[in-house]
Chain A
Amino acid sequence: MTTAPTPLRVIKARRTYYENVVRTLKTAPISAWFGMIVILIYAIFAIFAPWLAPHDQSEIIGKAYQPAGEACWLGCDQIGRDMYSRLIYGARNTIGIALITTLISFMVGGSLGVLAALQRGWLDQGISRVVDAFLAIPVLIFALMMLAVVGKSIVNLVIILALLDSTRVFRLARAVALNSVVMDYVESAKLRGEKMSWIVFKEVVPNILPPLITEFGLRFCFVFLTIAALSFLGVGVQPPTADWGSMVADSKTLINFPVTTFPYIPAPFYPAGAIALLTVAVNFVVDWFLQRTSGLRDGE
């Protein structure tokens, strides 16, 4: 082999990461753009809630069920708190709790899934059988049961849902990791004598990240909807913390009465609509991701 010193020139990457992102975004369909803008707006409201909301989430500013007007322009709830402010705080609380839950679920389920796929053998068998049993119980039902045992609190809610959801993440992470593990490039790394950590983080993880990110969006929606449902059922997020699911439940009687002031929409539809809009937005973005994830190419 030639060993003559070759002058080393700086060879630039053909396209920077930033350029790739811009190129990709340009090809996004309208639905995906709509989704991304909605998510961005929600994020702004969630992060800057204390500055954007006119009142605190537990501050009583008017009469019970006060109709919309100048003082509170979406009306007041059953004990006279400002609906609009609670809606904004709700973004922070509901999205925050769902996000933390999903993150924990991915850390636990994702790492166990990859580990099981790489190690196979008894470890894989053991975890997989336990997970199979958990998969046979619907999440909402199991969460209800566990909340009955350990009692209602946000921490309990997060832990229970994260653990339940991690069984679903485990299944997917294991499946995609298995697809990657059987590839010749992983065998090649083993033959080279690489350590397990290299194989996991340099060979397998970069390849399973795109499907896992897509799945993160879907799992987030699922967790978010489950938390909303549990709160709606009165066993999720507890007062006085503002939360969209419980806000729907608290104001549900208002649906039977006509609304005489602008914008003529019964109160439960604000928080319910807020939930629906976010999940629709995330789904639109995920749908676009799903359609283009097959390409791992640099740009084009």
Chain B
Amino acid sequence: MNLVLKTVLQRLGLGLITLFAVSIIIFSSLQMLPGGYAQNILGQGATPETVKNFNHELGLDRPATVRYVEWIGNAVRGDFGNSYSGTTGTIKRSVSAIIGPRLFNTFFLASMAAIIAVPLSLALGLLAALYRNSWYDRIINSVTLTTIAMPEFFIAYILVFVFAVKLRWFSPLSTVGEHTPFLEHIYRAALPALTMTLVIVAHMMRMTRASVLNLLSSPYIEMAQLKGASKAYVILRHALPNAWAPIATVVAFNLAYLVVGVVVVEVVYVYPGIGQMMVDAVSSRDMPVVQACALIFAATYITLNLLADIISITTNPRLLHPK
């Protein structure tokens, strides 16, 4: 079989196994409580009768393996069951129905941040690497080191203070609904997107700089210079074809980071995404929602890393042209 195809399939398989393992971890987190989930929720005063009813109502009295198979089977089809907070009444709220629009909002926000951040940080990182030890490089180094160290909500509140409170360009709250027009959505999501951009640009730029420097120290780059190639030619012809793998790794790593950063940023701006929803569900201990969110976050994280690996594999000349 083609070596590249084989390696990609192997990597895909590994990704699936990881996803499977993660789903087990997420599912079994519920079983970890010594007294059981119901006892914990209902408190010490709950009678065995109430606990039993509660467990039965949620299906917790059936064997874990059966429930896992059911849960994951439904999850694959996009059905994450019903939210606990709605089950006491007659109306049941399905988790998927709650998540759906919020998932869109979150991806909207993350994409906005990514579209600005990725090209910006790649360019800044490349410049810092090319003009290593210049004043530009030194300043960028201190600034990014400082930005990396800051909590997301600090950056967010500084932006709110400057752009919403003082300058009044934006609203401090990014409320969007299902019927918000596209451009309006962009405008309202601008501050949270800018926050996330600032958070990941620093990281991504530093990683880009490091991997470009690593690449440029290869003997074949020196060889190209000794063959009289111009700087631009060396970069485009000799560095770039070998740069896809490290660049993909840097981008994937930071997009994964962005997916996590979205939680805090959504809470600051009261932006209706799944990050904010997950935090609410954690507070009310609405487990089906929490598990669904965790699975979505983890799956995104795994997919991004998988993509980076596949790009690395498909651009590796040793695999493309085996002996």
- CB of B302 within 8 A of CB of A136, answer yes
B212-236 toward A: CB 8 Å interface, digit per residue (1/0)? 0000000000000000000000000
Within 8 A of A (CB), among B289-323: 290-291, 293-294, 297-298, 301-302, 305
Closest to B141 in A: A287
Q: A229–B260 Cα gap in the complex (Å)?
A: 11
Q: A276–B150 Cα gap in the complex (Å)?
A: 5
By a CB distance below 8 angstroms, the chain B residues around A273 are 154
- CB of B151 within 8 A of CB of A272, answer yes
- CB of A133 within 8 A of CB of B25, answer yes
User: Within the complex, what minimum Cβ distance (angstroms) separates A58 from chain B?
Assistant: 22
By a CB distance below 8 angstroms, the chain A residues around B146 are 280, 283
Q: A255–B22 Cα gap in the complex (Å)?
A: 40
Within 8 A of B (CB), among A111-167: 129, 132-134, 136-142, 144-151
With an 8 Å Cβ cutoff, the count of chain B residues facing the other chain is 52
Q: Judge if A233 is at the interface, Cβ distance under 8 Å.
A: yes
Contacting B149 at CB < 8 Å: which of A221, A235, A252, A272? A221
25 pairs from A and B in contact (CB 8 Å cutoff): A132-B21, A136-B302, A137-B26, A137-B294, A137-B301, A139-B260, A141-B294, A141-B298, A144-B279, A144-B282, A145-B26, A145-B294, A149-B29, A151-B285, A229-B151, A232-B153, A232-B264, A233-B282, A235-B283, A266-B161, A268-B157, A269-B158, A273-B154, A280-B149, A283-B145
Q: Judge if B74 is at the interface, Cβ distance under 8 Å.
A: no
Q: Judge if B198 is at the interface, Cβ distance under 8 Å.
A: no
- CB of B294 within 8 A of CB of A279, answer no
Q: Judge if A284 is at the interface, Cβ distance under 8 Å.
A: yes
Known: A133-B21, A138-B301, A255-B161. A235 touches B282 (CB 8 A): yes
- CB of B153 within 8 A of CB of A141, answer no
Which 7 pairs of residues, A with B, have the shortest CB-CB distance? A133-B21, A279-B149, A272-B154, A148-B282, A280-B149, A138-B260, A276-B150
Closest to A132 in B: B18
By a CB distance below 8 angstroms, the chain A residues around B38 are none
Q: Judge if A20 is at the interface, Cβ distance under 8 Å.
A: no
- CB of A229 within 8 A of CB of B264, answer yes
Q: Judge if A179 is at the interface, Cβ distance under 8 Å.
A: no
- CB of B151 within 8 A of CB of A145, answer no
Residues of B within 8 A of A (CB): 18-19, 21-22, 25-26, 29-30, 32-33, 37, 40, 142, 145-146, 148-154, 157-158, 160-161, 165, 172, 256, 259-260, 263-264, 267-268, 278-279, 281-283, 285-287, 290-291, 293-294, 297-298, 301-302, 305
Interface Cβ pair total, 8 Å cutoff: 140
Known: A141-B294, A144-B279, A275-B151. A134 touches B32 (CB 8 A): no
Contact residues of A: prevailing secondary structure = helix
Residues of A within 8 A of B (CB): 31, 129, 132-134, 136-142, 144-151, 221, 225, 228-229, 232-235, 245, 248, 252, 255-256, 266, 268-269, 272-273, 275-276, 279-280, 282-284, 287
By a CB distance below 8 angstroms, the chain B residues around A232 are 151, 153, 264, 267
- CB of B150 within 8 A of CB of A280, answer yes
By a CB distance below 8 angstroms, the chain B residues around A31 are 142
By a CB distance below 8 angstroms, the chain A residues around B32 are 149-150
By a CB distance below 8 angstroms, the chain A residues around B286 are 148
- CB of B285 within 8 A of CB of A148, answer yes
- CB of A248 within 8 A of CB of B153, answer yes
- CB of B281 within 8 A of CB of A148, answer yes
Q: A144–B151 Cα gap in the complex (Å)?
A: 17
With a 10 A CB-CB cut-off, give which of B149, B161, B259, B278 has the most chain A CB atoms. Answer: B149
- CB of A233 within 8 A of CB of B302, answer no
- CB of A136 within 8 A of CB of B18, answer yes
Closest to B279 in A: A233
Q: A139–B257 Cα gap in the complex (Å)?
A: 10
Closest to A283 in B: B149
Q: A174–B49 Cα gap in the complex (Å)?
A: 50
Q: A276–B198 Cα gap in the complex (Å)?
A: 15
By a CB distance below 8 angstroms, the chain B residues around A144 are 263, 278-279, 282, 290, 294
Not counting A133-B22, A280-B145, a sample of 11 additional A-B residue pairs whose C-beta atoms are within 8 angstroms of each other reads: A136-B298, A144-B263, A144-B279, A148-B282, A148-B286, A151-B40, A221-B149, A229-B263, A232-B267, A280-B150, A284-B145
Known: A147-B282, A272-B154. A233 touches B263 (CB 8 A): yes
- CB of A279 within 8 A of CB of B263, answer no
